[in-house]
Amino acid sequence: MASLGIAIVGAGMIGAVHRRAALLAGATLRGVCASTPERSREVAEAWGTRPYASIDDVVADPQVQVVHVCTPNAQHAAYARAALRAGKHVVCEKPLATTVDDALALATLARESGLVATVPFVYRFHPVVREARARISAGELGPMRLMHGSYLQDWLMDAQANNWRVDPAKGGASRVFADIGSHWCDLVEWVSGERFVEVSASFSTVVAERSKAAAQSFTAAQADAGTEAVTSEDVAAAMFRTSRGILATVTVSQVSPGRKNRLWFELDGATGSVAFDQEDSEKLWLGGEHGSRVFLRDPNAGSAEQRRLATLPAGHAQGYAQCFEAFVADTYAAIAGERVDGLPTFVDGLRAARITDRVVASAASRQWLAIPSPAATSPAS
């Protein structure tokens, strides 16, 4: 296949991650569109490409086949919609949209267009996560009994730290759950094969005021520039019930000191358990009644998908970057007409929007609420 021409819209931390993965997958970067024309020119010079003044310029470029949307959340829907309507394939950061209606419209548009449209739920691409899924699918754990875990970060623990995600006008009605809780839910549903049908959730804002000085994601706290009230959640806790009555619990935080990016889950079956920690991602813990063992990522062991994604020799650590690279490479392979396993699409982005919407509503009402089934969240419904 000829090199795909791509454009990146949004030039923050995650935009740079997209750029690197795209280049490694063989794409040609045609240009970048940042928050302002001045910022676009600055980033374009650093990246050795052309600047776009607006999303209209991006989608009008005939040399662009794929648009990577890496902007603040509130812009995702409009930019992804513009790209799809212009006949471009789309990689859109999560959340796919800040409302369910917008997410449904995008998933429907993607289906009707026949274009490839994906969302970076990239933790699916850890090799040992694929191993966990294969073992559960093969029945090695027996019937599921309990699912639990957490996703913890600390980059907003300080009141001096701030970011556009804190502002609901830019980030949406939910911050911590939409940003990282959605990753946990996508991963656990996909690995386990279970589907959440009910939720009871609670939110907490533990840093009531933050510095007005904005910062890039995951950077050091800024000098004091006055404060502003915080209305988005710092911490979320949720209990889910699946369609088969299995309970699942998750704690999500961006204010947990020392936890940089700890996505952890344990899935307990009748005869065995598996546990995964994203900060120790070379290992899959396998538990049994008479002892436990650890499966190590290895291109010469385990399931076919584990072997495919284990691109480095055993003992040579892989991590988040390789997950993102595999996700982008599989997206481009799908554009070329290949069938790839586990590629998260706009339908998965819609599913995440549905779950987040119900979590937010449950936290507000303090009630158990139903979550529409995956069939009910499909674009065709």
Map tokens 């939720």 to a residue: 199
Write the pLDDT tens digit of every residue in 299-311.
999 999 999 999 9
At residue 214, the pLDDT reads: 64
d(CA 323, CA 319): 7
Which CATH code of 3.10.450.50, 3.30.360.10, 3.40.1360.10, 3.40.50.1980 fits the domain covering 126-313+345-365? 3.30.360.10
d(CA 25, CA 19): 10
Q: What number of residues does the chain have?
A: 381
Write the pLDDT tens digit of every residue in 44-58.
999 999 999 999 999
CB atoms within 10 A of CB 293: 9
Residue extents of the structural domains in the chain: 5-122, 126-313+345-365
Query: Cβ neighbours of residue 45 under 8 Å, at least 6 residues apart?
Result: none
At residue 381, the pLDDT reads: 39
CB atoms within 10 A of CB 270: 10
Measured in whole angstroms, the distance separating CA 164 from the mean position of its chain's CA atoms is 17
Q: Quick one: which of 178, 165, 182 has its CA closest to 230?
A: 165
At residue 378, the pLDDT reads: 56
The alpha carbon dihedral of 261, 101, 364, 169 has a sign of positive
Q: Report the 3 state secondary structure along 134-172.
A: HHHHCCCCCCEEEEEEEEECCCCCCCCCCCHHHCHHHHC
pLDDT, greater one: 213 or 331: 331
CB atoms within 10 A of CB 376: 10
Q: Are strands 66-69 and 89-92 parallel, antiparallel or unpaired?
A: parallel
At residue 224, the pLDDT reads: 55
At residue 328, the pLDDT reads: 98
**Side chain identity at residue 370, one-letter code:** A
CB atoms within 10 A of CB 289: 8
d(CA 291, CA 279): 23
Least-confidence region, from 69-78, 141-150, 165-174, 290-299: 165-174
pLDDT, the chain, mean: 94
Work out the pLDDT band at 225, boundaries 50, 70, 90.
Answer: low
Query: Cβ neighbours of residue 139 under 8 Å, at least 6 residues apart?
Result: none
In this structure, CATH architecture of domain 5-122: 3-Layer(aba) Sandwich (3.40)
d(CA 157, CA 253): 9
Q: Tell me what the mean pLDDT of segment 185-200 comes to.
A: 98
In this predicted structure, the answer to whether residue 216 has a pLDDT above a threshold of 60 is no
CB atoms within 10 A of CB 147: 23
In this predicted structure, the answer to whether residue 364 has a pLDDT above a threshold of 50 is yes
Write the pLDDT tens digit of every residue in 326-342.
999 999 999 999 999 99
